[in-house]
Amino acid sequence: MTRFNLQSVSFALLVLALVSIGRGSGSDSGRVPQTQEADALSFTAQVKAVAEISLPEDAELESPAPPAVSHGEATIAVGRTLTSLHPESARPKVISPTVIAAAAFVGEIGNPYPLFEKNTESRWALASLTKLMTALVAKKVFSSGETIIITPDAIAEEGNAGGFREGEMYTAKELIEAMLVTSSNDAAFALAEHYGFPKFLEEMRRQTVALGMQQTSFFDVAGLSVLNQGTAWDLERLATFLLETHPEILEITAKPTTAITELGTQMTRKLQSTNRFAGTPGFIGGKTGYTGEAGGNLISVFDEKGRRFLIIVFGSDDRFSETETLRSWIRNNFTL
């Protein structure tokens, strides 16, 4: 106990002693009985004894701190140390999840501080996560009903998701849906070639600068190039921007299927999502990505009791399972 606190206690006890004596010497009582007077003198002597206690000269003098409240628990401030009214063992302790992926990020949308991160500053091949940026640029440069022809070069690109054929015609809106839902490389290249591939790619790069994605680079529009790279923190910026300004893009990615109609023949076909979470409760949207160099990538946004959480994994052997593990970790620690 500090000298300041002892002096405070001494003063309080002295006041109590004087009050006790005063009560016995009022006009209605005449004279204090001998026994009360002796007790009062004895009490006063104790107060004096307490007041004379000395402390080392280097003892720290502190004024009493006010009560505080932290995370819903009442706490008492003693000097500079907060002592919880609840025992330490009663407090929930957040244990970091086990993540095998090369990099991972977990955060709540709108909160600048991550809940969990692993290698979030390391650059990683993006694979088809690239298509989120491609969709953003396509939304910017095309009207939804603009007609786009599937070119031989688009068909020649790796992969045949979407089942497109040379010379077919689709609206920009439907090619964006095919690109995001079934992760069609042909649709991505058809969009870029219709605008002019170099101009389209430059627009993607310009958008990364505008969003502050300083560690991200794009060399193609589908994610086939290993030079398409970025960090988890950069992808967090992109996902947050899409959610806040272009939620319709994430809404497309949340569809378990989509239907596209070829304008010449009016033939319609259904395309299946590559995302196992698409169409499940609480899934707001996201994007899959995979190449041999990148491994399994996945961006996911979930609603948990009215709160929106972003999960990113790079280079995972089981991206859906690891994302589900991180989602369960969120539920068990932050939404109870």
Q: What is the structure's pLDDT at 103? A: 98
Q: What is the structure's pLDDT at 160? A: 83
Q: What is the structure's pLDDT at 92? A: 57
CATH class of the region 103-334: alpha beta
In sequence order, which residues have a C-beta less than 8 Å from that of residue 44 and are 6 or more positions away? 14, 17, 21
Euclidean distance between CA atoms 94 and 90, whole angstroms: 13
Q: How far is CA 311 from CA 20, 64, 211, 275, in A?
A: 68, 45, 19, 14
Q: Alpha-carbon torsion 263, 269, 272, 278, what sign?
A: positive
How many CB atoms lie under 10 A from the CB of residue 308?
Answer: 17
Q: Provide the Cα torsion 313, 309, 213, 238; round to 10°.
A: 100
The whole-chain average pLDDT of the chain stands at 81
Q: What is the structure's pLDDT at 77? A: 29
Q: What is the structure's pLDDT at 159? A: 86
Question: In the chain, pLDDT over 90 holds for what percent of residues?
Answer: 70
Q: Which amino acid is it at 12?
A: A
Q: What is the structure's pLDDT at 336? A: 80
Q: Model's pTM, two decimal places? A: 0.73
> Is the distance from CB of 117 to CB of 104 less than 8 angstroms?
yes
Residues in the chain where the model's pLDDT stays below 50? 1-6, 8-9, 12, 15-91
Which two tokens mark 68?
Answer: 């505080």
Q: What is the structure's pLDDT at 13? A: 52
Q: What is the structure's pLDDT at 328? A: 97
Q: Alpha-carbon torsion 89, 94, 98, 103, what sign?
A: negative
> Is the distance from CB of 308 to CB of 288 less than 8 angstroms?
no
